[in-house]
Amino acid sequence: MVVTLPEGYSFRALELSDYAKYIETLKVLTTVGEISSESFAELFNHWKEHPHIYQPHVIANTEGLVVATGMLLVERKLIHECGKVGHIEDISVAGSEQGKKLGLSMITGLTELAEKQGCYKVILDCSPHNVGFYEKCGYANSGVEMVKRFS
């Protein structure tokens, strides 16, 4: 799938200097809480120490500021001849950037990254009302997500 970003926008790996805008963009998705620059740097470095597993990405606007987020987590399994599975997590698009197909660009970018690394599949979980969007991204319904939350 060929996806064109708006002129001047880029799909790239998360950088340490993305701190404020990365957090701001993720707040569109869910609860983030107060995260200091030190906590962000610690997590960023943890991800960076495991580059084959954690692959956090962003879409940046013409000013280089984060307007969309997405994580590709690559899991090495035993099944499927020691196959790899990509997990897409924490997709979020800034409220002011809706309508530019940035979600589609992010999913396409992460999916291509997973394919290049030899994953045999990519999976993600979504709300029922987002199924249509992911179908447009080339994904198909394959099961049920179950959760247990701890208080």
The footprint of a second copy (CB under 8 A) covers 22-23, 26, 29-35, 39-40, 43, 46-47, 50, 53-54, 71, 73, 75-82, 87, 89-90, 111, 115, 119-128, 130-131, 134-135, 137-150
Q: Which residue, 99 or 143, is less far from a second copy as judged by CB?
A: 143
Q: Which residue, 99 or 128, is less far from a second copy as judged by CB?
A: 128
User: Residue 59: which of 8, 114, 113 has the closest Cα?
Assistant: 8
Torsion, Cα of 91, 136, 11, 21 (10° steps): -30
Q: Do 25 and 92 contact (CB within 8 A), yes or no?
A: yes
CA distance 53 to 46: 11
Q: Do 73 and 54 contact (CB within 8 A), yes or no?
A: yes
Q: Which residue, 16 or 62, is less far from a second copy as judged by CB?
A: 16
Q: Which residue, 8 or 118, is less far from a second copy as judged by CB?
A: 118
Instruction: Report, in Å, the least distance between residue 61 CB and a second copy.
Output: 20
**In 3-state terms, what secondary structure has residue 67?**
strand
Instruction: Report, in Å, the least distance between residue 8 CB and a second copy.
Output: 26
The three state secondary structure string of 70-86 is EEEEEEECCHHHHCEEE
Instruction: Report, in Å, the least distance between residue 80 CB and a second copy.
Output: 6
Instruction: Report, in Å, the least distance between residue 87 CB and a second copy.
Output: 7
